[in-house]
Structure 1
Amino acid sequence: MKYFQTASSQVPNFPEYVAVRTFDDVQVEHYDSNTMKAVPKHDWVDEFPEDSLSWKWETESHRGNQQFFKASLETLRERFNQTGGVHIIQQMHGCELDNETGEVNGFYQYGYDGEDFLSIDLKTLTWIAANPQAVITKLKWEKTGEGERWKNAITQICVEWLKEYVNYGRSSLLRTDLPSVSLLQKTPSSPVRCFATGFYPSRAEMFWRKDGEEIHEDVELGEILPNHDRSSQMSVKLNLSSVAPEDWRRYECVFQLSGVKDDIITKLDKAAIKSNEASDTS
């Protein structure tokens, strides 16, 4: 479970405050200062029992944080001797639970204008200042016991939420959808694109290999992108300009999905390639 909070000033077309919660790297909640409302971002989250997750309570919590971060932004601008312009505070914290061992890990990080500002060592409950301006906050928070509060928030409250999400989202979390994989090529001289779509979860890897060994030269890996049905797509290109036709059989595209043992392997086969090239009618 991870929480991301961003407060900003004078950023065009962007809310002054945005809060996002992710669960296993899937966004499950969103709040911003334009809508002033916490909303679920995944189907199964919206089905939580009312006594388990109250979106009204979440909204009120975010509104309080919104005011806190707005005041913090003003404080840091004064501390850094800044009068105006674009400035951004970013805070993220979260927890991780190992179901088998019961081990809990967590983190808290605070940044200002793209640079580290403050973080916590949960074992010693000491705050780590990344620059001189952060020392004031470090001393204040150590004096007021903020370390204990955040340790409880991360190792207790966050973990309770985590278990709640596992309980109600189990069917969605355990779901695995394998993709359809195709070989695409615009023209005979274009790179061959190995394209996978329709897979879930989004934690996946894709690469080309030659003679059983992963290769990186003449290979371009694309981003994992969302589909409208919450599945994902990705692709990896292979430049064939230096590959002799008789060597094609030595290449294959490999797709690996988290939680699935077997790889999906697609041999580089000219007959299997789908082309966008129009027929020459001249």
Structure 2
Amino acid sequence: MKLATYQNMKIFIFLLLSSHFAFSVKHSLKYITTVSSGLPDLPEYVAVVVVDDDLVLYCDGSNKMIEPKHDWVKKVYDNDPHHLEYYKITCFDEEPPYFKAEVNRLKRRFNQSGGVHILQRLSGCEWDDETGEVIGFNQYGYDGEDFLSIDLKTETWIAPKQQAVLTKLRWDADKARIKYNQNYLTVIFPEWLKNYLAYGRSFQMRTELPSVSLLQKTPSSPVSCLSTGFYPHRASLVWRKDGEELHEEVDHGEILPNHDGTFQMSVDLNLSSVTPEDWTRYDCVFQLSGVNEEIITRLEKDRIRTNEGKSEIRGC
């Protein structure tokens, strides 16, 4: 897979820190390391631990900060303090100077003097809890292009760019490095993944219903139905007229993350051709996956939040 280009780095990090996806049979543990050069607004070294695309740990190696993202993650580290200590040593002491030196080496190899440059590593494993199959991966990208990836079957490194061949040859000859990767990617990481899943299952399987609000900027603006605070992200939000879902005069927004790990979404309804007498024929309907009951909000004047007043319907 392609790693993010530096132009999209801020968006990439924001989405990464906020993303939550479906709990599935195939589980994954990902370690994503991002090292930047020439970006004063971002730390030079950032690493995150992601389980099933849910951020569980954030580390800012430049500022010596490490942050578990959920209470259940803290329980993992309380039960196995050496696990967290490994992250601290790796993030604070070992990797920042190593990756910084690698960026400088790559800049010379690519004949680059200044500018913005990004080195990323994506490593980890996938585990199928039905078949027990484990797939380990470790790959590097530089300035948004694939640079190196390990092939555990052949015990060699794949170099898609000419500038990576020198590193490939050096790492192919380092048999201890290959064995180290095999051990972590196929033995240690899968065990850590199972440990995370055991502690985090109740959190990842939870459901949270949203609050639903009707918003309108001006009397001539579309009415926006906003639902916020729901989890998981598998949800629908639609406008219905007389019980039938509308597809015209409707504008669906994207599902967006909230800072607390929940989600929000909105859908706008254009009322320019609707008389006030017909407003009550319209409903905004929210449906969360796994929950039978719908949250239905009738389009009524006194429920619309404007600059002058507000009304809110809370899911229960």
- TM-score under structure 2 normalisation? 0.72
The answer to whether 1:224 aligns with 2:256 is yes
Does the aligned pair in 2 maintain the 1:8–1:89 contact within 8 Å? Answer: yes
AA partner of residue 79 (structure 1): R
**Which string of whole-angstrom CA distances, capped at 9 and with x for unpartnered residues, describes residues 84-132 of structure 1?**
2221111112323232332334433311112222233455555333322
Aligned length: 274
Structure 2 CA distance for partners of 1:232 and 1:178, relative to 1, 3 Å: same
Do the aligned partners of 1:38 and 1:56 also contact (CA within 8 Å) in 2? no
Q: Which residue of 2 aligns with 1:83?
A: 113
Counterpart for residue 234 of structure 2: 204
- CA shift, 1:135, in A, is 2.5
Distance in 1 separating the partners of 2:136 and 2:75: 27
**Other structure's SS at 1:169 match:** helix
After superposition, what is the alpha-carbon deviation per residue over 1:220-269, rounded to whole angstroms, capped at 9, x for unaligned?
42452324xx3523122324157645698577544434xx2537454663
**Alpha-carbon distance between aligned partners in 2 of 1:194 and 1:25, rounded to the nearest angstrom:** 28
| Aligned counterparts of 2:192 and 2:304: Cα–Cα separation in 1 | 46
Q: For 1:65-76, list aligned pairs within 5 A.
A: 65-76=95-106
Asked which structure has the greater RCO (Cα within 8 Å, sep 6+), the reply is 2
Find the counterpart in structure 2 of residue 236 from structure 1. Answer: 266
Q: Per the alignment, in what secondary structure is the counterpart of residue 81 of structure 2?
A: coil
Q: Which residue of 2 aligns with 1:164?
A: 195
* CA displacement at 1:191 relative to structure 2: 2.5
1:26-41 superposed matches below 5 A: 26-41=54-69
Q: C-alpha displacement at 1:160, in angstroms?
A: 0.8
- Shift of the 243–153 alpha-carbon distance from structure 1 to 2, 3 Å rule, reads farther
1:136 to 147, 152, 166: 166
Superposition pairs of residues 1-282 of structure 1, within 5 angstroms: 1-48=29-76, 50=78, 52-54=80-82, 55-62=84-91, 63-145=93-175, 146-201=177-232, 203-208=233-238, 215=247, 218-227=250-259, 230-240=260-270, 244=274, 249=281, 252-257=284-289, 260-262=290-292, 264=294, 266=296, 269-270=299-300, 273-278=303-308
Q: Which runs of 5+ in 1 are unaligned?
A: none
Q: Which protein has the bigger helix share?
A: 2
CA–CA distance in 2 between the matches of 1:85 and 1:109?
Answer: 24
Compared CA separation, residues 207 and 79, structure 1 to 2 (3 A): farther
Seen in structure 2, the aligned counterparts of structure 1 residues 168 and 72 have a Cα distance that, compared at 3 Å, is same
- In structure 2, runs of 5+ residues without a counterpart are 1-28, 310-316
> 2:254 and 2:101 mapped to 1: Cα distance?
40
Q: C-alpha distance in 2, partners of 1:177/1:266? A: 16
8 Å Cα contact 1:187/1:275 also seen in 2: no
Q: Is the 8 A contact 1:121 1:127 kept in 2?
A: yes
* Residues 56 and 149 of structure 1: CA distance in aligned 2, closer, same or farther (over 3 Å): closer
My pick for the range that moved more, 212-221 or 170-179, is: 212-221
Deviation at 1:59, TM superposition (A): 0.9
CA contact (8 A) 1:4 1:91 kept: yes
Kept in 2: contact 1:94–1:106 (CA 8 A): yes
The residue type paired with residue 258 of structure 2 is: P
TM superposition score normalised by structure 1: 0.80
Q: Structure 1 262/159 Cα, relative in aligned 2: closer, same or farther at 3 Å?
A: farther
What CA distance in whole angstroms lies between the structure 2 residues aligned with 1:240 and 1:18? 44
**Alignment partners' CA distance in 1, 2:249 and 2:153:** 43
CA distance, structure 2, for counterparts of residue 3 and residue 15 of structure 1: 17
Query: 1:37–1:247: structure 2 CA closer, same or farther, 3 Å change rule?
Result: closer
Q: Distance in 2 between matches of 1:64 and 1:171?
A: 34
Quote the sequence identity (%): 42
Taking structure 1 as reference, are residues 261 and 15 closer, same or farther at Cα in structure 2, changes over 3 Å only?
same
